[in-house]
Chain A
């Protein structure tokens, strides 16, 4: 499967005024510029959906740290996307409680329904499928997160209803990129 083509890939290596403003706000609260690195990555990702090489460089320049250091931070985290993702990112919990409660069937149903594997995005750019460590909803296993929303007690049929309802929502909304 190809990655979504709908996400604008910024060629310029500067940030927008809004992005600078939000990062500046973080900087007023923090001791050092570097301390804002995760927040800055999240801010830019909220605006652009993911962190391109250009974005990475722009952030590193603004925080006055080496790009390699910021790359070390960016690639460290599960919720910072260094590749384009779809409108809705699905994070399926694959940890122990979800394993015991049969998440593998839910996962199989998702893969079959969307025709994608882990790390892939649907051709229409709507969904990206990723795994996640324990989502802290073990009493409602199996659990997944779409965008910011957690969903529990899933079965291989209820998860399809869930995907359909997400797809049915106003697709103009940028829910999936609001991480």
Chain B
């Protein structure tokens, strides 16, 4: 594991994350120094655009393009602000990659946020952390204090004239807060229902001001893009999207866990080489490639490269890149029922199709699971799925559920 082969994870230490000085000894804050001294903010955005980095929060939206939507103003009035928010609300069932980065190398995220804030012109930022990640909260708080003391946060950072104030906000446990507009409502202290898009947060987000919300893993790519350059970044995955990706596997596989691989690693490589295949006596029946809101893939899909386009072509979505593996001794209906119960419970209740549709689907599946299902129930499920599809609800929770 080197800085060049495993940029996101080579500094991870889960037992005791590196102090600022140890992190710096191994290349830490070099990317930020380069970004702040060798690039103008506009050039930094162009650099990220050219790198090909796409959002790792699940939707895969090109990060540089997203940043370029933030309006730039030469001078801001007192009431004008631009905000940077890190989405660390990780609650998608089967997803645990951001936790590794938060607990294992908190300085990497802070360094990344300094770069992102500089590029988009934000002087204030928040890390929105899910409430259950107590250990991460403790470690981030410690790292934030170190970074402040060393002038990697605060006023006139490293003498560059750039000011950036970064705060940790810990949430209190609700899945929908991870949706970026719900997250913004939560940060404002309001009930965390999503907002209608457009306007997108890039234009009108936190307190009505331009706001960029990026996932933890997305941000953590930045120091390395600036430290080692675009060519290096793209060389990881010449056939696919750029960079590396943290893949995961859970369910009854031999060795569940997380692995950083070049973007576009085949599903079979993650499942068999990394996770050691199924536990003995079990066979693969199907899998969700990237969290609870992605669609099932089958054993015939093992050679599908895990990047945004290929997984979409296979009929699902890369999502967060964490495989949830179903074996042949488990009931698929019971698994889907578990997933739907989750969505029904976590629906924020704003849109009727989602609020009423998810529990209705749960009831139908309960009937089917108990062996009392009828063919008409299947038709009914299809009809419900149609009601909850994209465009009929305010956010992607309901389409994710079906």
B96 pairs with A137, CB closer than 8 A: yes
A82 to B187, CA, bound (A): 21
Interface residues in B198-253 by Cβ distance below 8 A to A read 207, 248-252
Q: Mark B140-160, 1 if CB is under 8 A from A, else 0.
A: 000000000000000000000
Q: A80 at the A/B interface (Cβ < 8 Å)?
A: yes
A95 pairs with B188, CB closer than 8 A: no
Chain A residues contacting B339 (CB-CB under 8 Å) are 96
B94 pairs with A96, CB closer than 8 A: yes
A96 pairs with B338, CB closer than 8 A: yes
A34 to B192, CA, bound (A): 13
Chain A residue at smallest Cβ distance from B90: A136
B342 pairs with A38, CB closer than 8 A: no
How many A-B pairs have beta carbons closer than 8 Å: the answer is 144
A96 to B130, CA, bound (A): 19
Q: B326 at the A/B interface (Cβ < 8 Å)?
A: yes
Chain B residues contacting A145 (CB-CB under 8 Å) are 132
Chain A residues contacting B175 (CB-CB under 8 Å) are 133
A97 to B320, CA, bound (A): 15
Q: A38-B172, A73-B191, A96-B335 are in contact. Are A136 and B132 (CB under 8 A)?
A: yes
Q: A41 at the A/B interface (Cβ < 8 Å)?
A: yes
Q: B134 at the A/B interface (Cβ < 8 Å)?
A: yes
Q: B309 at the A/B interface (Cβ < 8 Å)?
A: no
Interface residues in A123-142 by Cβ distance below 8 A to B read 132-141
B132 pairs with A79, CB closer than 8 A: yes
Q: Mark A39-50, 1 if CB is under 8 A from B, else 0.
A: 101100000000
Interface residues on chain A, number (Cβ under 8 Å): 44
Q: B371 at the A/B interface (Cβ < 8 Å)?
A: no
A29 pairs with B96, CB closer than 8 A: no
Q: B346 at the A/B interface (Cβ < 8 Å)?
A: yes
Other-chain contact of A136, B133, B169, B324 (Cβ < 8 Å): B133
Q: Mark A61-99, 1 if CB is under 8 A from B, else 0.
A: 001010001001100111110000000000100111101
Chain B residue at smallest Cβ distance from A137: B96
B132 pairs with A97, CB closer than 8 A: no
Q: A35 at the A/B interface (Cβ < 8 Å)?
A: yes
Tell me how far the C-beta of A70 lies from the nearest C-beta in chain B, rounded to whole angstroms. 9
Chain A residue at smallest Cβ distance from B256: A139
Residues of chain B whose beta carbon lies under 8 Å from any beta carbon of chain A? 90-96, 98-99, 130-135, 167, 169-175, 186-192, 207, 248-252, 256-258, 288, 292, 322, 324-327, 330, 334-335, 338-339, 341-342, 345-346, 348
